[in-house]
Amino acid sequence: MNKALVGLLLFVGMGSHVAAQSLPKWDLYGGYSEDLAGSGIAGQGQLPTNGVQVNFDRVVKSYFKVTSQFNAQFADHVVNIAPLPQGAEHVNSKELLALFGPEATYRGIQRVDVFAHFLIGLSYGRDNEYPKIPTATYTTWAYALGTGVDLKLGSKVSARLLGFDWVTTHFPINSPEAQDNWRLTGGFVFHLGG
């Protein structure tokens, strides 16, 4: 009886060791991002911006990561058209985000991972408005609350089918009000060091 119990414990221990080995140590994500940027100006709606996003995550447990997210968004819009060029305002803007924080992952669905995170960090914004000069630049704090779905394509790569973040920035455009942005992302996750 003792030999059977020892054998069972060894089998279970080896199984958990193999499962732990298959878990990656790092995740690297890269992809496209679409951001509906809150203008923060009365009478103006949200402006879509195109960008890129890179995440570098340290996998601590199968259900927990510490993530670092870097995002660059770019926009070129003509607003207040009445008609162009007289009375029009041309806005060329850039926003850079560096956010960090915890991320929880649910891996209970075959080939699908669902995640959620809360991130906090810094945002840098730059607006070139023609005919207004000079260029306005700001650096402020920001946070993001988000979720998403990854589809496993293999042991080393997954496709991010959808990432969604509610991003709040605190640029002094209409202080003390904050700017609320919606961001959608999609791309690929590479699992490293597993």
Tell me the per-residue pLDDT of 73-124, one tens digit each, with 9 for 90 and over. 887 655 544 444 555 555 667 889 999 999 999 998 999 999 999 999 999 9
pLDDT at 11: 43
For the chain, give every domain's residue range.
24-192
CATH numeric code, 24-192: 2.40.160.20
* Residue of 180, 160, 135, 165 lying closest to 32 (CA atoms): 160
Residue 22 parent element (H or E): helix 2-22
The CA-atom distances, in angstroms, between 87 and each of 60, 80, 95, 165 are: 55, 7, 26, 35
Cis preceding linkage at 24, omega within 30: no
Q: Which residues pair with 19 in a beta bridge?
A: none
DSSP state of 6: H
d(CA 95, CA 137): 10
d(CA 90, CA 82): 12
pLDDT at 75: 77
* Residue of 145, 150, 178 lying closest to 164 (CA atoms): 145
pLDDT digits (tens, 9 = 90+) for 32-42: 999 876 554 44
On the CB side of 35, how many CA atoms lie within 13 Å of its CA?
A: 29
Model pTM?
A: 0.74
Share above pLDDT 90 across residues of the chain, in percent, rounded to a whole number: 47
Backbone angles phi, psi at 81, to 5 degrees: -70, 125
Greater model confidence, 151 or 131: 151
pLDDT at 147: 97
Cis preceding linkage at 48, omega within 30: no
Average pLDDT, the chain: 79
Overall average pLDDT of the 20-46 stretch:
74
pLDDT over 50 at 15, yes or no = no
pLDDT at 82: 45
Greater model confidence, 171 or 69: 69
Residue 101 zone, left/alpha/beta (φ > 0; ψ -120 to 50; rest): left
pLDDT at 84: 46
Provide the pLDDT confidence category of residue 134 given band limits of 50, 70 and 90: low
pLDDT at 61: 94
